[in-house]
């Protein structure tokens, strides 16, 4: 899962980044209104952790921008302003949850997982396609009930594609989601090809009845 933290308090931003990376998330940061809008206009994220009071503008305006676009992204407001009016406004504008500062990192992670399950998987704890099940919370993949050991990036690739089964996924978008925004500076995608080759081999050897197809000149499609 790829996260954008929009927070101008450097110490909190650092703590959140470290905690989420420890959980295995890909994390990017924006410290003000302008950089947040710029990142959201260029890159795709699964979840945005959004402060309300930002240099250069309001987090509510960013939330409105996200909801007016065609981007499907969860938004959790994180703010020191704990008034009922702010909570109501945020939820009415389309926020998925609201977390008041100060908060424990464990609660933040739990809220993110809960929002992800509600929005993308009908409350189930696992993504299931054919005889393959992937559990995001435990980083576990099974084929016909048997554990399939995967490396971290292999797991992230499979999770991303299982959430978008049947859809064409651009290899650049996949790389950005799994490795972070800095991949747009890379001249090639050999790191994607290598991980994809290993993932396909492991799925085939385990007898998985899903297939990751290459679409020439574009990317991949899970069927």
Q: What is the tens place of the pLDDT at every residue in 134-161? A: 987 778 899 999 999 999 889 999 988 9
Query: Burial level of 16, CB count in 10 A (0-12/13-18/19+)?
Result: buried
Mean pLDDT of 194-223: 91
**Six token digits for residue 105:** 């990192």
183 falls in which pLDDT band (50, 70, 90)?
Answer: low
What is the predicted pLDDT for the residue at 155?
92
- Percent of the chain whose predicted confidence (pLDDT) is above 90: 44
Write down the pLDDT at residue 125. 66
Return d(Cα 150, Cα 212) in angstroms, integer. Answer: 15
**Higher per-residue confidence, 137 vs 207:** 207
Residue 118: asked if its preceding bond is cis (omega within 30°), the reply is no
Q: Helix H segments across 28-163?
A: 33-42, 59-68, 84-92, 105-120, 152-162
Contact predicate 161/129, CB 8 Å: no
101-126 pLDDT per residue, tens = 888 998 998 888 888 777 655 555 67
Burial 143-181 (b: 16+ CB within 10 A, else e): beeeebebeebbbbbbbbbbbbeeeebebebbbbbbbeb
Query: Do residues 6 and 62 touch, judged by C-beta distance below 8 A?
Result: yes
């Amino acid at each position: 899962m790829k996260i954008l933290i929009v927070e101008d308090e450097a110490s909190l931003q650092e703590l959140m980044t470290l905690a989420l990376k420890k959980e295995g998330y890909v994390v990017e940061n924006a410290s003000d209104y302008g950089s947040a809008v710029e990142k959201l206009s260029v890159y795709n994220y699964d979840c945005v952790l959004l402060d309300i009071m930002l240099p250069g503008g309001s987090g509510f305006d960013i939330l409105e921008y996200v909801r007016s676009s065609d981007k499907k992204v969860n938004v959790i407001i994180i703010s020191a302003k704990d008034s009922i009016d702010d909570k109501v406004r945020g939820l009415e504008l389309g926020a998925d949850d609201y977390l008041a500062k100060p908060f424990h990192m464990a609660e933040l992670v739990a809220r993110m997982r809960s929002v992800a399950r509600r929005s993308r998987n009908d409350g189930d704890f696992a993504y299931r396609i054919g005889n393959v099940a992937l559990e995001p919370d435990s980083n576990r993949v099974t084929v016909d009930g048997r554990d399939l050991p995967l490396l971290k990036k292999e797991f992230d690739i499979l999770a991303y594609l299982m959430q978008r089964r049947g859809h064409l996924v651009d290899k650049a978008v996949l790389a950005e989601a799994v490795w972070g925004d800095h991949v747009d500076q890379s001249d090639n995608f050999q790191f994607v090809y290598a991980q994809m080759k290993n993932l396909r081999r492991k799925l085939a050897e385990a007898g998985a009845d899903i297939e990751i197809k290459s679409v020439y000149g574009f990317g991949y499609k899970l069927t």
